[in-house]
Amino acid sequence: MSIEADFAQQNIEALLESMSLEEKIGQLFLLAFSKDRVDEARILMQDHFVGASYVSNDNVPGTAAAVELTRRLQGFAANTRLRIPLILGVDQEGAWSVLTGESCPGPGNMALGASRDPETAYRMYHLIGQEMSAVGLNTIYAPAVDCNSNPYNSIIGMRSFGESPSLVAEMGAAAVRGARAGGVLTTIKHFPGHGDTIADSHRDIPHVTRSREELLAIDLFPFAEGIRAGADMVMTSHIIFDALDPVCPATLSPRILNGMLRDEMGFDGVILSDSMNMQAMKRFYRPADAAIRAFNAGVDLLMLAEEHYNHNANAYLYEQLSLINAVCDAARSGVISKHRLNDAVRRVLLLKQRLQPTNYRPETIGSAEHKAIELDIARKALSFLRGGDGFVPITAAAQLVLVNATTRSSYPPVTQTRGIGPNQSVAAFDELVRHVQARHPHTAVISAEELLDGTGSPSIPAGAKVIAVTENYPLPGMDFDQQSQPKVIARLLGAHPDLIVVALRDPYELVNFPDVRTYLCAFSFRPCAAQAAAEALFGEQPASGKSPVSIPGTGIKATE
């Protein structure tokens, strides 16, 4: 019998009564390890009873690595006295992903929102659940149900289904149901909502100044629907909400976690913190103090994902063990009460009884069937937010020029965030070039550097169809460099007023392009989105999506 199946038969109250303090404390931590330093994971899980792990793309760069790793990690749990299975979770949410070169993460939540069809969210997250469970990754830290109502939000963006509370709620609930049917535990995040922020909590503590009434009507509504759909965990945000608790960020706020999430909203599952290694926490609180305060505020499971900044891999294990010891001391001294401790451990153990036994099917990852589903969903997002008629479809006789609006120096950070984030090694532009040239082999390609570094534009034949491609990627703790993009568009528009812009990204940039007549938005940078965009350019597929976000200064509204 598998470790999960065996554990599902356990009497949780009897198990809880039999556990030592150290065994209980270990179950309250969701820790991480760097790349292939698996012996650190063994020390945490086998010797200190840590019951959950954040798994990044660095840990599982491919399918074979994922199978080997999850087998080993669950083996560490099996070697403990109580044989409690591990939560092995990943940020597989479309815009962020793991197994990125092989899996089908889909076009991301904003693209799903652009389809305006909850069935697409169900299908995509069902596929995500199937792929992750096929290699032993039994939990996803998704979907994000933040209403992205602030166009200057640097960290959520395409990770959100949109700005409308009703749309986000509908899509988020469908995603929860789909992922759970696909075989994984789900997490709705970032409670009470990260959508109306400018600051990135990987770097600072954001403040949200909405009134309580606005929070209830906007940000909290999708969480209520996600809970109704059966979300297994709710992840907290490191954000101060002035109307709810003007002093403490949500992760450390009893008013928000116990008062609102538990008492008012009736959530009875596991409350998971966002990573306590984020600068919103580390800049303002001592790690041990923050951990103890989080548990006392209502957090059941404390995450320390391995972030890419201010990181010393050699000290990481020591820091995690120090934190475990500090929480043990707090429990022994009564700073964390026995009742609070047992309540949190009970919730985690009950959650683990929902884990499905792993049925390894690595051959299904990125299968032709899965890629077809992913592409079909990406097609439904495409939208001509401006123009279209008279500019497409592109014919075989047309002289075609593709211009990359992004400099090559912008791309490396996409894969340099220690496995957290998009993790896409091939630029969206290059994917589009591949699919366009497959249809139009003589397409010319011009780089941003060629256009901007010279004294004038490269020679573009008169009458040629010119397509400029823009991109964006939501990166933790940093911004994707888009400085070249408006410069390229401005340079091209001067000589080519019929310029077509293909946005393999969110559409917020459109406010900067009042003179662009044709703007095709995919709401995604994923390869499936690039292929779908190429199809639309050549008239092979309609572009029937609608923007799920409003774009100030353009007249484009999310409700239209």
Q: Residue 497: is it exposed, middle or buried by C-beta count within 10 angstroms (0-12/13-18/19+)?
A: exposed
Nearest to 169 by CA among 187, 150, 144, 190: 144
Instruction: State both tokens at 466.
Output: 């010119």
Query: Which is the catalytic residue, given 190, 202, 308, 440?
Result: 202
**6 labelled catalytic:** no
Nearest to 111 by CA among 161, 151, 45: 161
Instruction: State both tokens at 289.
Output: 């103090």
Question: Could you tell me what percentage of the chain is helix, strand and coil, using 3-state DSSP and rounding each to the nearest 5?
Answer: 45, 10, 45
Structural contact between residues 364 and 130, judged by C-beta atoms closer than 8 angstroms: yes
Instruction: Give me the residues paired with residue 501 across strands.
Output: 468, 519
Instruction: State both tokens at 553.
Output: 């200064």
**202 labelled catalytic:** yes
* Cα–Cα distance, 118 to 171 (Å, whole number): 5
Structural contact between residues 99 and 84, judged by C-beta atoms closer than 8 angstroms: no
* CA 16 and chain centroid, separation: 33
Element spanning 207, H or E: strand 207-208
Structural contact between residues 272 and 233, judged by C-beta atoms closer than 8 angstroms: yes
Please calculate the CA angle 549-493-520 and round it to the nearest 5 degrees. 35
* Cα–Cα distance, 517 to 501 (Å, whole number): 9
Query: Which is the catalytic residue, given 117, 219, 232, 274?
Result: 274
Residues acting as catalytic residues: 202, 274
